[in-house]
Amino acid sequence: DTGVSQNPRHKITKRGQNVTFRCDPISEHNRLYWYRQTLGQGPEFLTYFQNEAQLEKSRLLSDRFSAERPKGSFSTLEIQRTEQGDSAMYLCASSARTDPNSPLHFGNGTRLTVT
Amino acid sequence: QKEVEQDPGPLSVPEGAIVSLNCTYSNSAFQYFMWYRQYSRKGPELLMYTYSSGNKEDGRFTAQVDKSSKYISLFIRDSQPSDSATYLCAMSAMGGNNRLAFGKGNQVVVIP
Protein backbone atom coordinates (compact mmCIF):
# COMPACT_ATOMS: atom_id res chain seq x y z
CA ASP A 1 0.00 0.00 0.00
CA THR A 2 1.59 3.25 -1.13
CA GLY A 3 -0.95 5.60 0.42
CA VAL A 4 -0.62 7.82 3.49
CA SER A 5 -0.24 5.68 6.59
CA GLN A 6 -1.23 6.77 10.10
CA ASN A 7 -0.66 5.06 13.42
CA PRO A 8 -2.28 4.25 15.70
CA ARG A 9 -5.78 4.05 14.21
CA HIS A 10 -7.39 4.57 17.59
CA LYS A 11 -6.12 6.00 20.85
CA ILE A 12 -8.00 6.22 24.13
CA THR A 13 -6.33 8.23 26.84
CA LYS A 14 -7.17 9.85 30.14
CA ARG A 15 -7.34 13.60 30.50
CA GLY A 16 -3.95 15.05 31.30
CA GLN A 17 -1.92 12.37 29.54
CA ASN A 18 0.35 12.99 26.56
CA VAL A 19 -0.22 11.28 23.21
CA THR A 20 1.80 11.05 20.01
CA PHE A 21 0.60 10.14 16.53
CA ARG A 22 2.68 9.19 13.52
CA CYS A 23 2.14 9.84 9.82
CA ASP A 24 4.05 8.30 6.91
CA PRO A 25 3.26 10.25 3.72
CA ILE A 26 3.26 8.94 0.18
CA SER A 27 6.83 8.32 -0.87
CA GLU A 28 8.51 11.40 -2.39
CA HIS A 29 5.70 13.73 -1.38
CA ASN A 30 7.48 16.69 0.13
CA ARG A 31 4.42 18.44 1.51
CA LEU A 32 2.71 17.11 4.62
CA TYR A 33 -0.38 18.43 6.39
CA TRP A 34 -2.18 17.75 9.66
CA TYR A 35 -5.93 18.33 9.94
CA ARG A 36 -8.43 17.72 12.73
CA GLN A 37 -12.00 16.56 12.16
CA THR A 38 -14.75 16.49 14.76
CA LEU A 39 -18.07 14.72 14.36
CA GLY A 40 -20.31 16.30 11.75
CA GLN A 41 -17.67 18.78 10.62
CA GLY A 42 -15.21 19.00 7.77
CA PRO A 43 -11.49 18.70 8.45
CA GLU A 44 -9.79 21.82 9.84
CA PHE A 45 -6.21 22.72 9.00
CA LEU A 46 -3.67 22.45 11.82
CA THR A 47 -0.20 22.69 10.32
CA TYR A 48 1.89 22.23 7.16
CA PHE A 49 5.42 21.04 6.41
CA GLN A 50 7.48 21.40 3.31
CA ASN A 51 10.26 18.86 3.70
CA GLU A 52 11.38 19.25 7.32
CA ALA A 53 10.34 22.88 7.67
CA GLN A 54 7.08 23.70 9.44
CA LEU A 55 5.83 26.60 7.33
CA GLU A 56 2.37 27.31 8.67
CA LYS A 57 0.45 26.73 11.91
CA SER A 58 -3.23 27.36 12.54
CA ARG A 59 -4.49 29.26 15.55
CA LEU A 60 -6.18 25.94 16.43
CA LEU A 61 -2.73 24.57 17.26
CA SER A 62 -2.39 25.59 20.89
CA ASP A 63 0.92 25.41 22.74
CA ARG A 64 -0.02 21.93 23.94
CA PHE A 65 0.32 20.70 20.37
CA SER A 66 3.65 20.15 18.65
CA ALA A 67 4.43 18.64 15.28
CA GLU A 68 7.74 17.54 13.82
CA ARG A 69 9.05 16.14 10.60
CA PRO A 70 12.71 15.60 11.46
CA LYS A 71 14.08 14.20 8.21
CA GLY A 72 11.44 15.38 5.82
CA SER A 73 9.84 11.94 5.70
CA PHE A 74 7.46 10.81 8.47
CA SER A 75 5.85 13.28 10.87
CA THR A 76 4.67 13.12 14.47
CA LEU A 77 1.96 15.12 16.20
CA GLU A 78 2.13 15.29 19.99
CA ILE A 79 -0.59 16.58 22.28
CA GLN A 80 0.47 17.30 25.84
CA ARG A 81 -1.90 17.39 28.83
CA THR A 82 -4.84 16.19 26.75
CA GLU A 83 -8.28 17.67 27.33
CA GLN A 84 -11.69 16.22 26.49
CA GLY A 85 -12.02 18.85 23.75
CA ASP A 86 -9.07 17.26 21.97
CA SER A 87 -11.21 14.23 21.14
CA ALA A 88 -11.34 14.14 17.35
CA MET A 89 -10.02 12.40 14.25
CA TYR A 90 -6.52 13.60 13.41
CA LEU A 91 -5.85 13.35 9.69
CA CYS A 92 -2.56 13.52 7.86
CA ALA A 93 -2.29 14.36 4.16
CA SER A 94 0.54 14.72 1.67
CA SER A 95 0.96 16.22 -1.77
CA ALA A 96 3.54 16.05 -4.52
CA ARG A 97 6.51 18.36 -4.88
CA THR A 98 6.08 19.08 -8.57
CA ASP A 99 2.91 21.17 -8.39
CA PRO A 100 2.37 23.47 -5.42
CA ASN A 101 -1.37 23.09 -5.82
CA SER A 102 -1.48 19.35 -6.46
CA PRO A 103 -4.32 17.68 -4.58
CA LEU A 104 -3.95 16.37 -1.05
CA HIS A 105 -4.13 12.65 -0.36
CA PHE A 106 -5.34 11.76 3.12
CA GLY A 107 -4.62 8.87 5.42
CA ASN A 108 -7.35 7.09 7.40
CA GLY A 109 -6.63 9.14 10.48
CA THR A 110 -6.04 8.53 14.17
CA ARG A 111 -9.20 8.69 16.23
CA LEU A 112 -8.45 10.14 19.68
CA THR A 113 -10.82 9.73 22.62
CA VAL A 114 -9.97 11.60 25.81
CA THR A 115 -11.87 10.32 28.86
CA GLN B 1 -19.61 33.65 7.92
CA LYS B 2 -17.57 30.55 7.25
CA GLU B 3 -15.38 30.53 4.15
CA VAL B 4 -17.17 27.46 2.77
CA GLU B 5 -20.84 26.67 3.31
CA GLN B 6 -22.25 23.21 2.68
CA ASP B 7 -25.70 22.27 3.85
CA PRO B 8 -24.97 19.16 5.93
CA GLY B 9 -28.52 17.80 5.77
CA PRO B 10 -28.55 14.02 5.09
CA LEU B 11 -29.72 13.02 1.64
CA SER B 12 -31.47 9.71 0.88
CA VAL B 13 -32.06 8.69 -2.71
CA PRO B 14 -33.18 5.47 -4.43
CA GLU B 15 -30.62 3.48 -6.36
CA GLY B 16 -30.21 4.83 -9.89
CA ALA B 17 -31.21 8.40 -9.01
CA ILE B 18 -29.06 11.46 -9.65
CA VAL B 19 -27.43 12.92 -6.55
CA SER B 20 -26.87 16.68 -6.57
CA LEU B 21 -24.60 18.33 -4.01
CA ASN B 22 -23.37 21.89 -3.78
CA CYS B 23 -21.25 24.36 -1.82
CA THR B 24 -20.94 28.12 -1.73
CA TYR B 25 -17.91 30.08 -0.70
CA SER B 26 -16.96 33.63 0.14
CA ASN B 27 -13.22 33.87 -0.61
CA SER B 28 -12.63 35.16 -4.15
CA ALA B 29 -9.04 33.90 -3.99
CA PHE B 30 -10.11 30.26 -4.19
CA GLN B 31 -8.96 28.80 -7.51
CA TYR B 32 -8.79 25.05 -6.88
CA PHE B 33 -11.92 23.07 -6.08
CA MET B 34 -12.19 19.49 -4.89
CA TRP B 35 -14.74 16.94 -3.86
CA TYR B 36 -13.76 14.25 -1.39
CA ARG B 37 -15.71 11.14 -0.44
CA GLN B 38 -15.41 9.88 3.11
CA TYR B 39 -16.66 6.52 4.29
CA SER B 40 -17.36 5.98 7.96
CA ARG B 41 -14.17 5.84 10.06
CA LYS B 42 -11.97 6.42 6.99
CA GLY B 43 -10.03 9.39 5.68
CA PRO B 44 -11.31 11.60 2.84
CA GLU B 45 -10.67 10.17 -0.62
CA LEU B 46 -10.20 12.56 -3.55
CA LEU B 47 -13.01 12.26 -6.13
CA MET B 48 -12.77 15.33 -8.33
CA TYR B 49 -10.24 18.13 -8.71
CA THR B 50 -10.83 21.20 -10.87
CA TYR B 51 -9.10 24.47 -11.48
CA SER B 52 -11.08 27.69 -11.94
CA SER B 53 -14.52 27.66 -13.58
CA GLY B 54 -16.03 24.98 -15.79
CA ASN B 55 -17.15 21.38 -15.80
CA LYS B 56 -15.26 18.16 -15.33
CA GLU B 57 -16.61 14.69 -15.86
CA ASP B 58 -15.20 11.39 -14.62
CA GLY B 59 -17.38 8.36 -15.17
CA ARG B 60 -20.61 8.84 -13.23
CA PHE B 61 -19.31 11.98 -11.51
CA THR B 62 -19.55 15.56 -12.81
CA ALA B 63 -18.11 18.57 -11.02
CA GLN B 64 -19.14 22.12 -11.90
CA VAL B 65 -17.56 25.37 -10.78
CA ASP B 66 -19.17 28.79 -11.22
CA LYS B 67 -16.70 31.32 -9.86
CA SER B 68 -18.93 34.28 -10.72
CA SER B 69 -21.55 32.93 -8.30
CA LYS B 70 -19.02 31.35 -5.92
CA TYR B 71 -20.88 28.07 -6.25
CA ILE B 72 -19.67 24.53 -6.92
CA SER B 73 -21.64 21.36 -7.55
CA LEU B 74 -21.16 17.61 -7.72
CA PHE B 75 -23.53 15.33 -9.60
CA ILE B 76 -23.55 11.56 -9.27
CA ARG B 77 -25.43 9.75 -12.03
CA ASP B 78 -26.90 6.27 -11.69
CA SER B 79 -26.20 6.26 -7.96
CA GLN B 80 -25.25 2.96 -6.34
CA PRO B 81 -25.47 1.78 -2.73
CA SER B 82 -21.65 1.89 -2.69
CA ASP B 83 -21.92 5.68 -3.19
CA SER B 84 -23.36 5.95 0.33
CA ALA B 85 -20.84 8.13 2.13
CA THR B 86 -20.18 11.69 3.26
CA TYR B 87 -19.17 14.07 0.48
CA LEU B 88 -16.95 17.02 1.38
CA CYS B 89 -16.26 20.00 -0.80
CA ALA B 90 -12.85 21.65 -0.39
CA MET B 91 -11.04 24.55 -1.98
CA SER B 92 -7.76 26.39 -1.89
CA ALA B 93 -6.16 29.58 -3.13
CA MET B 94 -3.15 29.77 -5.40
CA GLY B 95 0.00 30.21 -3.36
CA GLY B 96 -1.80 29.47 -0.11
CA ASN B 97 0.45 26.55 0.81
CA ASN B 98 -2.36 24.42 -0.63
CA ARG B 99 -4.23 24.78 2.68
CA LEU B 100 -7.73 23.43 2.11
CA ALA B 101 -10.93 24.96 3.44
CA PHE B 102 -13.63 22.30 3.78
CA GLY B 103 -17.39 22.34 3.94
CA LYS B 104 -19.16 20.38 6.68
CA GLY B 105 -19.98 17.49 4.35
CA ASN B 106 -23.19 15.92 3.06
CA GLN B 107 -24.15 12.43 4.19
CA VAL B 108 -25.63 10.56 1.23
CA VAL B 109 -27.54 7.29 1.54
CA VAL B 110 -28.42 5.38 -1.63
CA ILE B 111 -31.25 2.97 -0.94
CA PRO B 112 -31.24 -0.30 -2.93
Position A42 scores a pLDDT of 95
Q: Per the CB < 8 Å rule, is B103 touching A42?
A: yes
Position B45 scores a pLDDT of 95
Position A98 scores a pLDDT of 65
Per-residue burial over B29-38, b = 16 or more CB atoms within 10 Å of its CB, e = otherwise = ebbbbbbbbb
Position B98 scores a pLDDT of 79
> In whole numbers, what is the pLDDT of chain A averaged over residues?
92
Q: Per the CB < 8 Å rule, is A33 touching B99?
A: yes
Q: Is A86 helix (H, G, I), strand (E, B) or coil?
A: helix
Is the pLDDT score of A83 beyond 90? yes
Distance from CA of B104 to the nearest CA of A (A): 4
A99 and chain B in contact, CB less than 8 A: no
A115 and chain B in contact, CB less than 8 A: no
Q: Give me the percent of chain A exceeding a pLDDT of 90.
A: 78
A101 and chain B in contact, CB less than 8 A: yes
Position A110 scores a pLDDT of 98
Beta bridge partners of B36: B46, B88
Encode pLDDT of A48-67 as tens digits.
999 999 999 998 889 999 99
Distance from CA of A9 to the nearest CA of B (A): 10
Q: Among the residues of B42-83, which ranges form H helices?
A: none
**Residue segments in chain B with a per-residue pLDDT below the cut of 70:** 1, 96
Position A100 scores a pLDDT of 61
Position A97 scores a pLDDT of 65
In terms of pLDDT, which residue wins out, A2 or B87? B87
DSSP structure string for A15-69: TT--EEEEEE-STT--EEEEEEE-TTS--EEEEEEETTEEEEE-TTS-TTEEEE-
A107 and chain B in contact, CB less than 8 A: yes
Residues on chain A touching B98 (C-beta within 8 angstroms): 31, 33, 48, 95, 100-102, 104
Of B87, B110, B106, give the one whose Cα is nearest residue B34: B87
Is the pLDDT score of A1 beyond 60? no
Encode pLDDT of A28-49 as tens digits.
888 999 999 999 999 999 999 9
Is the pLDDT score of A2 beyond 90? no
Residues on chain A touching B104 (C-beta within 8 angstroms): 40-42
Sign of CA dihedral A97, A9, B90, B51: positive
Residues on chain A touching B31 (C-beta within 8 angstroms): 101
Q: Per the CB < 8 Å rule, is B43 touching A102?
A: no
